[in-house]
A and B are shown apart, each in its own frame.
Chain A
Amino acid sequence: MTEAGVSAADVSVLSLDQLHKAFGALKVTDDVTLEVRSGEIHALIGPNGAGKSTLIAQICGEMRSDAGRVSFKGRDVTDLSAFKRARLGLGRSFQTTQLCFEFSVLEHVILSLDCMEGGSFNLVANPRNDAALREEAMHWIGKVGLTGRESRQVANLAHGERRQLELAVSLARKPHVLVLDEPMAGMGAEESARMVDLLGELKGEYPMLLVEHDMDAVFTLADRISVLVYGRVIFTGTVDEVRRNPEVRSAYLGDEAC
């Protein structure tokens, strides 16, 4: 299945070209080149401290790169700020949940829909009363399996539900790529399994860059995997290639993945 997926659609949606970032003498991102093709789930794995979070910050525009380019949908976005990249259709979830805790689930998804063009300066209209917006928001709430929870305050959601909401908030914007920073972090086995199913359903619809520690999830979902160690991509290949590669095994996977 993986081989077919790659050959069917190899148009690059998001590509990193020789990206660099250093804090003082410490090279956190060292000459990273990587691409996410349309329709694929591209997993990024690597031990703690490999520089995954920094790389995501560079991709999403929260952190400036020292050198190299980031292209998105064929456009050079290296110098665009985070909100402009988001408006172009770069969707993301965060390693530690970033949500507005005082909103209800429905309000939060409505916010997301209402910010497609960067938010409105309309001081009068209440978006909560917009039937079309509500309906569309409910669609995405249903898509991630939160139906029935729409009037619950975000602060009162369980951890796994917050993760689902993060996904709904991103999906509602119809992103052209999804950057998911450890979507399974902190989840129990059952919640994780549900999230894997959900991401599996979305596969093909949205290209994804998936950063994840859960190897079972990665091997289940990913088309291709890049291995990041000390800021360098030491290997990119299909699941099987990664499993077989001795360098990857010694550097990262150890025995557990065999």
Chain B
Amino acid sequence: MSRFNRFTLTGLVMLALLIIAPVVIAQTDWSGGLPLLTRIVIYALAVVSLDLIIGYGALVSFGHAMFFSLGGYVVAVLLHHTNMGDTIFGWEGTNSALLLWPLALLACALLGLVVGYLALKTRGVQFIMITLAFAQMVYFVLVSLQYYGGDDGLMMDMRNTMPSIQLDDPWAFYYLALTLLVVWVLFCRLIVNSRFGLVFQALRQSERRAVNLGVNPLPFRLTAFVISAVGTGLAGILWANYAEFVTPDMATWAKSGEFLAIVTLGGLGTLLGPIAGAAVFIGLEQILTIWTEHWMIVMGPMLVLIALFGQQGMLGRYLKGGRHD
């Protein structure tokens, strides 16, 4: 079976599961089901974006939590001012998602542009350390923002509003998040197979060859980095609306590490693998936290095992196989 078909098949199965799961869970008396699924979908959006640059570009960003937090904070802070009746540079503010979300995404794109430009001057270990360091800077800046709650974070009085969709309704919110995930995965898939994507992937496989074909690496890598930042920012926006709460914890190195772990667990360079990774990781987290508050004692060694033995991840072998003779 060709790779295209495997991708389509896996994607459809996943989509069917994610559509049906809340309905099935609603038949039981488990109230945590829909929130859990919502978290999985939001995380999936972030890690699919991360997979775009790690799996296809070998750009191991250890700082993607900075975009996750920035997306959330922009939305929460603007909402805060609007509700306080403040004006923001003479603008009375809004609660409309159609305005706030693009603004937040723009902020993520700008941060991605600056951090990416600096970090992409290097490769490998330096790239990892630099992305981590800038994320930590964002974390410290968020902590220092006493006006917006500092360490404690900032509550959102309500979710953003959207015409004809009730974001306050958990069902509507879940299916909106799922729709965004589907659109984003299709967009990433388009990019990967595009003329841009061909060059971007060539840079990972042999930078020397690509350069000697006339390719200037930086603009390609930077473009992908910014796209990835925007996707992760969108996840942050959804998270802020889901939790109705943003804290500097969204920007911690541990969050960035979690994203890395999920991508690897699911399968690098597959786009769909990380979604499965998110489901397993978040699900496991849920189970372990119920079992013991010291769940890291289990999760830690699991990460070690994933690193040591999980070469292809859960779906890597299947999704990357079946192509070429």
Interface residues of A (CB under 8 A from B): 60, 62, 81-84, 86-87, 91-92, 94, 98-104, 107, 110-112, 114-128, 151-153, 156, 169, 173
27 contacts between A and B (CB under 8 A): A82-B211, A83-B214, A83-B217, A86-B213, A86-B214, A87-B214, A91-B212, A94-B208, A98-B209, A111-B213, A114-B195, A115-B210, A115-B213, A118-B216, A119-B199, A121-B195, A121-B196, A122-B194, A122-B196, A123-B190, A123-B191, A125-B195, A126-B195, A152-B325, A153-B324, A153-B325, A156-B324
Complex CA gap A153/B210 in Å reads 17
Question: Can you add 17 more A-B contacts, CB < 8 Å, to A62-B211, A120-B196, A121-B220?
Answer: A81-B216, A83-B211, A83-B212, A83-B216, A83-B217, A94-B208, A98-B212, A103-B202, A104-B324, A114-B195, A116-B214, A118-B215, A119-B214, A119-B215, A121-B196, A121-B223, A123-B197
**B201 proximal to A (CB < 8 A):** yes
Q: List, in ascending order, chain B residues with CB within 8 A of A156's CB.
A: 324-325
Among B198, B210, B219, B324, residue most surrounded by chain A Cβ atoms (within 10 Å):
B198
In the complex, the 6 A-B pairs of residues with the closest C-beta atoms, listed nearest first: A100-B205, A153-B324, A120-B195, A119-B199, A86-B214, A87-B214
Q: List, in ascending order, chain B residues with CB within 8 A of A124's CB.
A: 190, 194
**B27 proximal to A (CB < 8 A):** no
Quick one: closest A residue to B219, CB to CB?
A: A121
Beta-carbon contact of B211 and A101 below 8 Å: no
Quick one: closest A residue to B323, CB to CB?
A: A153
Beta-carbon contact of A117 and B214 below 8 Å: yes
Q: List, in ascending order, chain A residues with CB within 8 A of B216's CB.
A: 81, 83, 118-119
**B212: which of A86, A102, A127 is its contact (CB, 8 Å)?**
A86
Complex CA gap A119/B195 in Å reads 8
Q: List, in ascending order, chain B residues with CB within 8 A of A173's CB.
A: 213-214
Interface residues of B (CB under 8 A from A): 190-191, 193-199, 201-202, 205-206, 208-217, 219-220, 223, 323-325
**B194: which of A82, A118, A125, A169 is its contact (CB, 8 Å)?**
A125
Complex CA gap A111/B214 in Å reads 11
Beta-carbon contact of B324 and A151 below 8 Å: yes
Beta-carbon contact of B195 and A99 below 8 Å: no
Nearest chain A CB to B195 CB, angstrom units: 4
Complex CA gap A104/B190 in Å reads 19
Q: List, in ascending order, chain B residues with CB within 8 A of A104's CB.
A: 324
Beta-carbon contact of B209 and A99 below 8 Å: yes
Nearest chain B CB to A155 CB, angstrom units: 9
Complex CA gap A122/B197 in Å reads 9
Q: List, in ascending order, chain A residues with CB within 8 A of B197's CB.
A: 123
Among B199, B208, B214, residue most surrounded by chain A Cβ atoms (within 10 Å):
B214
- Beyond A115-B214, A121-B223, A169-B213, whether A127 also contacts B195 by CB under 8 A is yes
Quick one: closest A residue to B217, CB to CB?
A: A83
- Beyond A82-B211, A115-B214, whether A99 also contacts B206 by CB under 8 A is yes
Q: List, in ascending order, chain B residues with CB within 8 A of A116's CB.
A: 214
Nearest chain A CB to B183 CB, angstrom units: 14
Beta-carbon contact of A120 and B199 below 8 Å: yes
Complex CA gap A235/B90 in Å reads 77
Nearest chain A CB to B54 CB, angstrom units: 15
Among A119, A122, A128, residue most surrounded by chain B Cβ atoms (within 10 Å):
A119
Beta-carbon contact of B325 and A114 below 8 Å: no
Complex CA gap A91/B210 in Å reads 12
Nearest chain A CB to B316 CB, angstrom units: 13
Nearest chain B CB to A23 CB, angstrom units: 20
Nearest chain A CB to B224 CB, angstrom units: 10
Quick one: closest A residue to B197, CB to CB?
A: A123
Q: List, in ascending order, chain B residues with CB within 8 A of A82's CB.
A: 211-212
Complex CA gap A173/B195 in Å reads 16
Q: List, in ascending order, chain A residues with CB within 8 A of B209's CB.
A: 94, 98-100, 169
